[in-house]
Structure 1
Amino acid sequence: MDRKPLDLNEIKTQLDDLEAEARVLAEFIRYIRRADAHLQELAQAVEELQQGNPAPSIHA
């Protein structure tokens, strides 16, 4: 079984690519969490409006 010798530059490039992907994924997760919080706030406001209570917690 022939194996290609390790090329440290290739490994560094792959690690850099993985690090960049991890940063993008982390930012996407933060975006999803913020969106989820906003949706929960909106759902609460809708529920309050349906019950006839004004919703002072709505943030534009």
Structure 2
Amino acid sequence: MDRKPLDLNDIKTQLDDLEAEARVLAEFIQYIRRADAHLQDLAQAVEELQQLNTPARIHA
């Protein structure tokens, strides 16, 4: 274990890297949330189409 101690520049670089990773993850989470909302809309539309295509039952 021959590690040199971190200096302030190393720490700043690591923090910058972590911030960049956090931004990417936040954007990915937003993408997933938007995709989920679109999938829910699509599922609702499919359900509505299925109801339209189901023959109405007439009770006499």
- Taking structure 2 as the reference length, what is the TM-score of the superposition? 0.79
The aligned counterpart of 1:34 is: 34
- The letter for the 2-side match of 1:45 is A
Residue 15 (str. 1) matches residue 21 (str. 2): no
Task: Using the aligned pairs only, state the percent identity.
Answer: 92
- The letter for the 2-side match of 1:5 is P
Q: Which has the larger radius of gyration?
A: 2
CA distance in 2, matches of 1:32, 1:43: 16
CA distance in 2, matches of 1:38, 1:2: 52
Q: 3-state DSSP class of the match of 1:6?
A: coil
CA distance in 2, matches of 1:21, 1:3: 24
- Gapped regions of structure 1 (runs ≥ 5): 54-60
- Gapped regions of structure 2 (runs ≥ 5): 54-60
Q: Which is richer in helix? A: 2
**TM-aligned CA deviation for residue 3 of structure 1:** 6.1
4+ long deviations beyond 2 Å:
1-6
CA distance in 1, matches of 2:36, 2:44: 12
